[in-house]
Chains A and B, each alone.
Chain A
Amino acid sequence: MDDYGVPLGESERAFRDEVRAFLDRAMVDFADRRTRSSLDGMREWQRRLHEAGLATVGWPVEFGGRAASAVEQLVFATEMARAGAPEPINRSAINQLGPTIIQWGTPEQQAYSLPRILSGEDVWCQGFSEPDAGSDLASLRTRAVVDGDDLVVNGQKIWTSKAHYANRIYILVRTDPDAPKHDGITYLLVDLHSPGIDIRPIRQIAGSAEFSEVFFSDVRVPLANVVGPMHQGWRVANSTLGYERVGQSRTHRIERRLGMVVRLAAETSVDGVPRIADPRVRTRLVEFAARVEALRFIASRATAAGVLGRAPGPEASLAKLLTSEVDQEMATFGLDLAGRAGVLVTGSPGAAKGGAVAQGYLVMRAATLGAGTSEIQRNVIGEKLLGLPRSDG
């Protein structure tokens, strides 16, 4: 299990041991699944990480990080995933907002915001998507107009996660409506408790509400909260947007789901014949295993390329599409394997995996929608990797 796909040097082994020692100590209090996924659990986890100096290993040292190498980041992400560690409450702020402020922020923004991200004192959500600007994000219409020392914001954001408990939000707003659509956008930090903000949860197909709509009516935000140059927010956001951390951590989820469908196939039967004896089932399982194993290898190769200071190969740009599709297909196949028990939900007698199969089936509809639908992914790959002409003109 020590194989990260890249060899470890001495200091990297020491770092791995430090992370493992931390996990051994800290995970004792997070053994319960509900604790791990609860709000208080994620908050507490963030605090523990911060105390141990592990809230962000990738940031530069002067901003509270450890300037970890690509290999160390891989080690960190892999160990966390293997231990089943909770998500720190500010994961997206650590991965996306923090690096943006480090690159573009004023010294005041850096001094104020960065420590509060790491400690979890501020909890951030992201407000980029809008009802008419999802895959086509640059079509966003939320307006902000300068008035004295403030910007006055009006509009609506959607698919904002964590909005119901966060206290801060980073948004993209249109500040120059006459400029071409990519050129009139500004990146803005907003106090979510400002007057004029209204948050309405969106109930999703599985019944819960992890996302919200956020409405802005004449919300005043100090100009000092603009990150990077005015009207240059598209460039600012793109410096970290879509920056998917490459590493084995991303494939842990599909590895786990593969294990789950294999177990389901072995444990379920029809008229006494285990489903795994069915040649069609066997073929599907091997198809899944092939894709999961390939994605694992692609991730480790991309990491190795990063470690060696090379650009990742073309296969890395396909990884998101392939990962989300195999994940969704496995969840669907899990429902098929579980048969009648698959459609029973949590709390019902006889529900497969305590209802997790049914829940997973519903939740995984999002895999091919979030962070760019699979159709958009195919367009982007077709245009960027294959050099095919754009589809819209």
Chain B
Amino acid sequence: MTESLVDLAESLAAVEATRATAAQVLREQWAPARLRAMLDEETPGWAPDLWVRAVGLGWPDLLVAEADGGGGGTTAQLAGIAEEVGRAAASIPFVPAAVAAWCGGPSGPLRTVAFSEPGGSDDALPSARARAAGGGVVLTGTKAFVPYGSAAQSFVTSAVREDSGAPVLCTVDADADGVTVTALRALDAAPLADVAFDEVRVDAAAVLVDGPEARRILDGARARLAVGWAAELVGVAAAVHDAATEYARHRVAFGRPIGAFQAIKHRLVDLRGDIEVARALVGRAAQAIERDASDADAMVALAAFWAGERLRAVPEGAIQVFGGIGYTWEHDAHLYLRRAAVLRALLPPPEVTTEVALAALVAPR
């Protein structure tokens, strides 16, 4: 083998090893039944015990360079773990915490990203404002639909500097003066929150990136976030599809397993095709991000578009295959349906991804 083939084999092996470890940990410490139990609680739920294990394994710091005390992992590894998290329907903040660490260095207590704003498409510059004050900034603005926002102890958030009009990224503690966290209640019990900043003082050390670099980091963070959510959605879809396929092998109606009926068989094949296209696009986008390729934005947009537009239909179709049993509270199918619906809402909307993808399509190559 040539040198470069060895590299290729090693990078593929690294992703496979990461995935295998993640799958095993999730199997040991999580069951979808726990998500069902959370849905009956008054307050949003997640799995701090599982998260402690994930932190111990270095998951949140996966994307941080080894020199900075992180795992030195790739975006493909991020996608690999995210897919396993989705497959398990595990309630942990892996994707937003890993992206927060990519922006701000190795993590301690739970930290998430707070980029999106009310009514915003998440793609524009933030409307939150940062005013220079004594080396640091004073932050005012509102962030919406923050993943794990009511569980996190700090946020990596974005704003625009009033003096220069350039973006700035900084870390804000959840209990700092002027921070108001409003917990939301979502279909999958996830601790989403709206977060308001009112004249919040951020000292110089908590300003992560400022100046021309800030836009690049913000865009890079959004790209990794989108790929991570898309990968988690791939896992959700793959798990419920596997379960429906298994059911179709054994459930007998009219004297034969229902999977022998082409209406069922062909539906499952088509859904599997949608999953494989999504998984390929996630892999392609992860590769483009890693190489800092000029088409990375377009590839991320395609992955987010396809996952968002096609994969929620997988649990929908799976419930159709399960029939009545799939409509019961005790069956797991609705857990995947709920998680898929929320993940789709976390992805950038199709109006945005369509435009980014098309810009690359019509540009002369």
Contact = CB atoms under 8 A, between A and B. Distances in A.
A6 B269 contact: no
Interface string B1-34: 0111101110010000000000000000000000
B191 interface: no
A233 B228 CA distance: 50
B280 A301 contact: yes
B8 A282 contact: no
Interface in A261-320: 262, 266, 276, 279, 282-283, 285-287, 289-291, 293-298, 301, 304, 307-308, 314-315, 318
Interface residues of A, number: 47
A9 interface: yes
A297 B259 contact: no
Contacts of B349: none
A34 interface: no
B273 interface: yes
B358 A6 contact: no
A391 B277 contact: no
A388 B284 CA distance: 30
B265 A378 contact: yes
Contact of B276 (A282, A298, A304, A307): A298
A388 B259 CA distance: 5
Interface residues of B, number: 47
Contact of B249 (A10, A286, A389): A389
Nearest to B306: A290
A296 B357 CA distance: 16
Interface string B298-339: 010011011001000000000000000000000000000000
Contact of A262 (B299, B355, B362): B362
A173 interface: no
A379 B277 CA distance: 19
A385 B272 CA distance: 10
B8 A382 contact: no
B73 interface: no
B361 A382 contact: no
A361 B94 CA distance: 47
Contacts of B284: 293-294, 296-297
A386 to B, nearest CB: 5
B270 to A, nearest CB: 8
Contact of B265 (A291, A314, A379): A379
A345 interface: no
B302 A386 contact: no
Interface in B259-297: 259-262, 264-266, 268-270, 272-273, 276-281, 283-284
Contact of B283 (A297, A378, A391): A297
A260 interface: no
Interface SS majority for chain A: helix
A23 interface: no
Interface string B330-365: 000000000000000000001001110110011000
B216 interface: no
B362 A297 contact: no
B8 A7 contact: yes
Contacts of B281: 290, 293-294, 297
A378 B262 CA distance: 9
A210 interface: no
A388 B266 CA distance: 10
B353 A286 contact: yes
A285 B361 contact: yes
A296 B281 CA distance: 10
Contacts of B303: 290
Contacts of B273: 318, 321-322
A295 B276 CA distance: 9
Contacts of A391: 260-262, 265
A81 interface: no
A283 B354 contact: yes
Given A282-B358, A293-B302, A315-B276, 11 more contacts: A7-B7, A9-B4, A262-B361, A286-B353, A290-B277, A290-B305, A293-B299, A295-B277, A375-B266, A382-B268, A388-B260
5 contacts: A266-B362, A318-B276, A386-B259, A388-B249, A388-B265
Interface of B: 2-5, 7-9, 12, 245, 248-249, 256-257, 259-262, 264-266, 268-270, 272-273, 276-281, 283-284, 299, 302-303, 305-306, 309, 350, 353-355, 357-358, 361-362
